[in-house]
Chains A and B, each alone.
Chain A
Amino acid sequence: MTANPNSHSANSRGAISIRNVSKVYDPGGVNVRAVDDCSLEIAGGEVCMIVGPSGCGKTTLLNAIAGFHSISEGQIDLDGEMLCGPSKPLADQGADRVVVFQNGALFPWKTLAENVAYGPVVQGVLGKNEAREKAIHMLDEAGLSGVADKYPGEVSSGMARRAEIVRALINDPKVLLLDEPYRAMDALTKSIMHESLLEVYDRTKVTIFFITHDLEEAIFLGDRVIVMTTRPAKTKKIVDVKISRPRDYRLLSSEEFRVLVEETKEAVHEEAVKAFEAGERELA
């Protein structure tokens, strides 16, 4: 597979190279192959959307990149340096690859500003006060100026999720790893989230590895959409989204957009049916 040809997202940092990666779980002696010989080249600064049926091993791949789970075979590189491979199945966790989780993981006992300042403080990059100043500045930029001193439980889920992305970005990561971050949101909030993420992306050009079930979301945000097969996960189809940036919601009603969604839907549907017929329990 070749790197994304879209030149507008070219970036020197944050290139991920996934080569022949397999992951075998072994719960109680029964081998379950979650990912099978999966290869994928993600260019620096690309927005790479991963879609596929439930439990197909998408999250396994993300966990391997983040260093939460080991891989069984293959190798994953970040900017030419090995994260995990045959000699080192589990990648080190690091602030160059920050994860934004499905259910949100802002620390409830810290205010939004304290949450955002957390990374630089624990890494010892900035002092407490400097980190706070920077955090407040970045929250301002994300349109969260009024709520910096509120606790996550006091703000809406949309605000919390936006703050969580700010918390990731303050570490100046090479890659943002997003695991269905907008899953439980209503359509309206979701579309606001999308525009704010795109705004962040246009500003930072950070590589984004984004797992989702929502095909419109995938096409709207992504440079490429990777459709995965049902378990064990492989890349089934890669949809190039050659729609120029910046994008806004008007795109959603364009012919070009609809065609791409249909094209993706067909591929995903095929796999979803297979997954359903296999009747396997969700593993992811």
Chain B
Amino acid sequence: MVDKKAKTPALVRLFRDQTFRRGVIAILAFVVLWEIGSQFKSWFGVMVPFIGKIAPPTAVAVSWMEVGQWPGYWQSWYLSTGRVFLGFTVAMIIGIPFGLAMAVNKYFRGMFFPPFEILRPIPPLAWVPASIIFWPTTELSIMFVTFLGAFYTIVINVLGGARSIDIQYLRAAQSMGATQWDLFRKIILPGTLPSIFIGAAVGMGITWEVVLAGEMISGGGQQGGGGLGFFIWSSYMGGVMDQVVVGMISIGLAGYISSSLIRYIGHLSMPWRRMF
């Protein structure tokens, strides 16, 4: 039985998977509705103000085929992805230790939590002007904004996750002779891991949201395409709505792929949660 299953090609198994099929059907249904909606100005006599103005999926697909041949489009993917991953990685590198330090040390928390909470509600977008002035290059200021998008979410998740670890685990470990360092490494860290990955997946989504804002405002790049955000902005300026939608979908896909990647890494690094 098991052998037979193993021999089935991965793609066939994927299509036999109910959840996967449901996802595909949902997306197809959405595209069909969109197509119908954009072909008719009114539905059953009721004007639909929004859908009718958006390019239909067929037009978007045609436009995408064309855009796909431009090196600038793929350069935009490359640039945006690079910015997102750099900003995100720095946010993880600073955010995880920062959140953990606030969780385990009340003096550290007392000092840094209030300023953190004051800065947290400020939208990354609001940082754009200051960031442009402060950082020497455009690239750095975009990355800084991206970093901010992920940073707060990661810190708040790590802090909350570490603080909500059941005190019985800590007591049990201490009563078996664990030192402070053991507690941190073997109890607090693995106990916080699920929250770290939740924070990372949410934070990754936000970095994609803000990288666009950064790119739109800082205005393009040197060689062909200034990132997906700039791509959307310049398409809009040129009045090419099909391309705007191509850009939007590209970002959606990029965000989905990145978050899936993080969830997959989480799945690999937390074997005890696999049965859920």
Contacts and interface: CB of A to CB of B under 8 A. Distances in A.
Interface of A: 66-68, 93-95, 97-99, 101, 103, 105, 107-110, 118-119, 122-123, 151-154, 167-168, 171
A105 B173 CA distance: 9
B191 interface: yes
Contact of B182 (A95, A108, A122): A122
Contact of B172 (A105, A109, A123): A105
10 contacts: A93-B175, A95-B177, A101-B168, A109-B190, A110-B190, A110-B272, A118-B173, A118-B176, A122-B182, A151-B275
A94 B175 contact: yes
B175 A97 contact: yes
Contacts of B173: 107, 118, 122
B200 to A, nearest CB: 17
Q: Which 9 A-B pairs have the closest CB atoms?
A: A119-B176, A105-B168, A109-B190, A123-B177, A105-B172, A151-B272, A95-B177, A122-B178, A93-B174
B91 to A, nearest CB: 24
Contacts of A119: 176-177
Contact of B272 (A66, A122, A153, A167): A153
B271 A107 contact: no
Pick the most buried of A66, A118, A168: most chain B CB atoms within 10 A of its CB. Answer: A118
Nearest to B181: A122
Interface in B23-46: none
Interface in B259-276: 270-273, 275-276
Classify the secondary structure of B's interface with A. helix
Nearest to A118: B176
Given A107-B190, A109-B272, A153-B275, A122 B179 contact: yes
B187 A107 contact: yes
A67 B172 CA distance: 11
Contacts of A154: 275
A99 to B, nearest CB: 5
Contacts of A103: 166, 168
Interface of B: 166, 168-169, 171-179, 182, 186-187, 190-191, 193, 270-273, 275-276
Main DSSP-derived SS at the A contact region:
loop
Given A107-B169, A109-B190, A109-B191, A99 B175 contact: yes
Contact of B176 (A68, A122, A153): A122
A107 B222 CA distance: 53
A94 B179 CA distance: 11
Given A122-B173, A171-B177, 8 more contacts: A66-B171, A68-B171, A93-B174, A105-B166, A118-B176, A123-B176, A153-B272, A153-B275
Nearest to B274: A151
A107 B187 CA distance: 8
A97 B186 CA distance: 21
A105 B191 contact: no
Contact of B271 (A99, A151, A171): A151
Contacts of B166: 103, 105
Contacts of B275: 151, 153-154
A132 to B, nearest CB: 15
Contacts of A109: 190-191, 193, 270, 272
A105 B171 contact: yes
Nearest to B276: A153
A108 B272 contact: yes
Contacts of A123: 176-177
Contacts of B179: 122
A66 B175 contact: yes
